[in-house]
Amino acid sequence: MSLQEKLEALKTETAAKIAAASDLNVLNQIRVETLGKKGPITEVLRGMKDLSAEERPKVGAFANEIRDELTAAIATKKAELEAAALDLALAKEAIDVTLPGKQIPQGNRHVLTQILEEIEDIFVGMGYQVIEGNEVESDHYNFQRMNLPKDHPARDMQDTFYISNEVLIRTHTSPVQARVMEKHDFSQGPLRMISPGKVFRRDTDDATHSHQFHQIEGLVIDKNVTMADLKGTLEVMMKKMFGADRKIRLRPSYFPFTEPSVEVDVSCFKCGGAGCNVCKHTGWIEILGAGMVHPDVLTMSGIDPEVYSGFAFGLGPDRVAMLRYGVNDIRNFYQNDVRFLSQFKGE
Ligand code: FA5
């Protein structure tokens, strides 16, 4: 076989291999094997020394032509394979923008937080400050400064979780009264505050009692504050919370830190006053205790009861939420069942 024939055969064979190459690695291997220094074209060119002087340039030119053709064929095939690889990657990574999006569940504020904020807003609108108290309190502030000395029988009204003899988790928000009164500077104006927060009692849990619940303490001290101011303030709040139609009653009561004292009940949302298991067959649900601040409580906080008087109240927002939404078991608020909580979307 002449050199020219050899080159022709090589071209045909290599062109077929290039056409059949299925990926870039195979193609690169063909290029190295055919066009490389140890490849057949180089070998043919080396054999040219045995040719005659006329034949040599012809065969040389033919060899170069074949090399250029194969180089071009490889480049074309390479571009083809690269384009195919790109198409494949694009197809694999394609995003179907017409598919429906995933639903992201949206949370909402806890129903009790919503009620607390709503009550805060009512009082802030009447010029009250909002003060945060401590959940861990001393016996001194929780009881003694509230006119409940160590051996006072009324301590039993609030069964207590003690941490030590002197430290406890507060049973009511009333200790905030003492902490605020002892610091207040009356030359700056009257004292008007509310203090919302958690309280704890060794109560047996039932439909309207929880061992952990919330209170909102209210306190107003100024010259000439009377029971009529207390009643008027509570009426404004109740009407805003429950609407003008709901029945409310004030009952004389007893708290060691107020004199006189009252308890405020709202007609039962479930039976409308006829009596049922929620209201323990009384027709009413108690939502707050209140009264005129006891002169001894004022004196212990350095306020002269001959000059100043005031009223205080302790409201149970958990029960407000029950009345508002017809929830017949307070424990629902603390079990954190999302199916229950997600019903109260708020604004
Ligand atoms: C007090 O705790 C007084 N410190 C309130 C007070 C403040 C009176 C200032 C006078 C002046 P009482 O124990 O009644 O009072 O609780 C007040 C309110 O908290 C109740 O009316 C009720 O709404 C709520 N409450 C009491 N115990 C529970 C409980 N176990 N679970 C849920 N709410 C409760």
Q: 286: annotated binding-site residue?
A: no
Q: Is 288 in the pocket of ligand 1 (CB under 6 A)?
A: yes
Q: Is 258 in the pocket of ligand 1 (CB under 6 A)?
A: yes
Residue 210: predicted pLDDT: 94
Helix 317-325, helix 227-242: angle, nearest 10 = 40
Helix (H) or strand (E) holding 129: strand 129-130
Span 84-100, pLDDT tens digits: 999 999 999 998 889 99
pLDDT band of 164, cuts 50, 70, 90: very high
Output the pTM of the full model.
0.73
- Evaluated on CA atoms 38, 44, 48, 49, the torsion sign reads positive
Locate the ligand 1 atom nearest the alpha carbon of residue 177 and give its number: 9
Contact 233, 220 (CB under 8 A): yes
Cross-strand pairs, 213:
199
Residue 146: predicted pLDDT: 97
Span 210-235, pLDDT tens digits: 999 999 999 999 999 999 999 999 98
Best of 204, 220, 255 to mutate for ligand 1, by most ligand atoms within 8 A of CB? 255
Q: Is 214 in the pocket of ligand 1 (CB under 6 A)?
A: no
User: Which of 122, 215, 174 is closest to 310 using CA atoms?
Assistant: 174
Helix 111-124, helix 317-325: angle, nearest 10 = 110
Q: One-letter amino acid identity for 82?
A: E
Q: One-letter amino acid identity for 136?
A: V
**Average pLDDT rounded to a whole number, residues 41-62:** 81
Looking at per-residue pLDDT, the higher value among 323 and 318 belongs to 318
Mean pLDDT for all residues in the chain:
91
Between strands 129-130 and 191-200, the pairing is parallel
Best of 214, 229, 288 to mutate for ligand 1, by most ligand atoms within 8 A of CB? 288
pLDDT band of 130, cuts 50, 70, 90: very high
Q: Which amino acid residue places its CA nearest to atom 12 of ligand 1?
A: 289
Q: Is the pLDDT of residue 181 over 90?
A: yes
Contact 308, 222 (CB under 8 A): yes
Q: What letter would DSSP give residue 325?
A: H
Residue 143: predicted pLDDT: 96
Poorest-pLDDT segment among 66-80, 121-135, 232-246, 255-269: 232-246
Q: Is 145 in the pocket of ligand 1 (CB under 6 A)?
A: no
Residue 303: predicted pLDDT: 98
Q: Is the pLDDT of residue 347 over 90?
A: no
Domain boundaries, the chain: 3-92, 111-341
Question: How far apart (Å, rounded) are the C-alpha atoms in residues 285 and 267?
Answer: 6
**Average pLDDT rounded to a whole number, residues 278-292:** 91
Question: How far apart (Å, rounded) are the C-alpha atoms in residues 62 and 74?
Answer: 18
Topology of domain 111-341 in CATH is BirA Bifunctional Protein; domain 2 (3.30.930)
